[in-house]
Amino acid sequence: MKLYEIVVKDIMRRKRRVLYAALGVVIGTMTVVGILTIASAGETKIYRQLEQYGPNLTVIPAINNLDMKLGNLSMGTLTVGENYIPQEQLVKIRQIADSSIRQALNITDEGDIATIAPKLYENTNVNGVSLVVVGVDAQQERIVKTWWELSKGKYIEETDEALVGAIAADLLKLNVGDTIALNGSSIKVSGILKETGSADDYQIFIALATVQSAFNKAGMISSLDIRALCNACPVEMIADSINKNIPGVRAIAVKQIAKSEMGLVEKMNNLMLALAGITLAVGLFGVINTMMASVHERIKDIGIMRAVGASRKQIIRIFIYEAVFIGILGGIIGYLFGTALAYIIGPLIFEGTTIYIVPQYFPLALILSIVVAVAATIYPAIHASEIRVADSFRSI
């Protein structure tokens, strides 16, 4: 009879004991798979949020507030710096952004790469209500504002058209086709945005050139957003280069703003993986205890096998084969239960997170379970191989 046939018969004879041994592996593997699945879903959610932010970089005027003091007496603050960015700086900013992306991604094609959306903010009164009018490059702004959706009408296509935020439209009682008076200019409402939950809801968007002309701010912009080609683009490098080479502006990377959130997620993942490691260790000792109990139950059988010529290596291999079976069983069940655990707990940890099955974790679960089961079986297997024929007679 071959060794694997002996193992199969032993497993069929001792189903309950094998399931007890597999239970420790299942719990450990389930915890690891569940944590990894939740962590993967959480990171995916954060990266999607980063994509929804629109810009990877925001460039604003480099304004500083200085505290004015006379001895111990505070005289208030003094703002130093220009409130606007000259529009001719856009050419230099684009050169820096595009060259950095080309260098990082080995792009040789000519033409614009980054999306650059300039803005000019102006406070004004429309129909007796004070609000902010934003001058934009309509095409670039739509690329940056990926969350924009229309509730009515269409996006800006002409210089005398306006796109109105949801709450602004409600307050001003505006509808598509209505006309807005803007410092002597007549602007037609082309569309109304759906509510976004951001400042966009309270603003009116008009062509940049129209706002510059209406408020005598020709060639001036308040800020600009830069959307790089991808999340992997060197936005921090672009920001640093802009800050060093273009005076009067300050570039801020959106990823730097989100770094604290990502760091918190990473720390939480490490803590959860540490707990999973402890669970695996507990499962390992559980398998050791179960296998040791199995050895004591089978002293008679092992003694008989030794009497008919079985070597120590063959005895060890029998237990190792059994451990591999336990590992495979524990890995399959642990992967399924771990994924189910992630579906239950994931949305509680990361609110609104959608959990997906991660097939790549299945081979990881199998390997991890087999390694734990085999590692836990080595000592009991060696102990079993040291049983002599005389020991089996004493157990009778």
Could you tell me which residue, 285 or 166, shows the higher pLDDT?
Answer: 166
| 136 close to 224: Cβ distance less than 8 angstroms | no
Tell me the pairing of strands 64-70 and 73-80: antiparallel
Q: Per-residue pLDDT averaged across 266-274, rounded?
A: 74
More confident residue, 283 or 321: 321
- Supply the pLDDT for residue 349: 73
At 78, the pLDDT band (50, 70, 90 cuts) reads very low
Whether 10 has a pLDDT exceeding 90, the answer reads: no
- The bridge status of strand 129-136 relative to strand 203-207 is parallel
Which residue did the predictor score with more confidence, 71 or 297? 297
Q: How distant is the alpha carbon of residue 268 from its chain centre?
A: 13
Average of per-residue pLDDT across 161-180: 92
pTM greater than 0.95 (yes/no):
no
Distance between CA atoms of residues 82 and 63, nearest Å: 7
| pLDDT over 70 at 373, yes or no | yes
3-state SS of 233-300 is CCHHHHHHHHHHHCCCEEEEEHHHHHHHHHHHHHHHHHHHHHHHHHHHHHHHHHHHHHHHHHHHHCHH
Average pLDDT over residues 362-391: 79
> Who's near 390: CB < 8 A, 6+ residues apart?
303
Percent of the chain with pLDDT over 70: 77
> Does 111 have pLDDT greater than 90?
no
Highest-scoring range by mean pLDDT, 8-22, 77-91, 115-129, 242-256: 115-129
d(C-alpha 25, C-alpha 373), whole Å: 7
The answer to whether 143 and 227 are in contact (CB under 8 A) is yes
Give the model confidence (pLDDT) of 189-232 as tens digits. Answer: 999 999 988 888 999 999 999 999 999 999 999 999 888 765 55
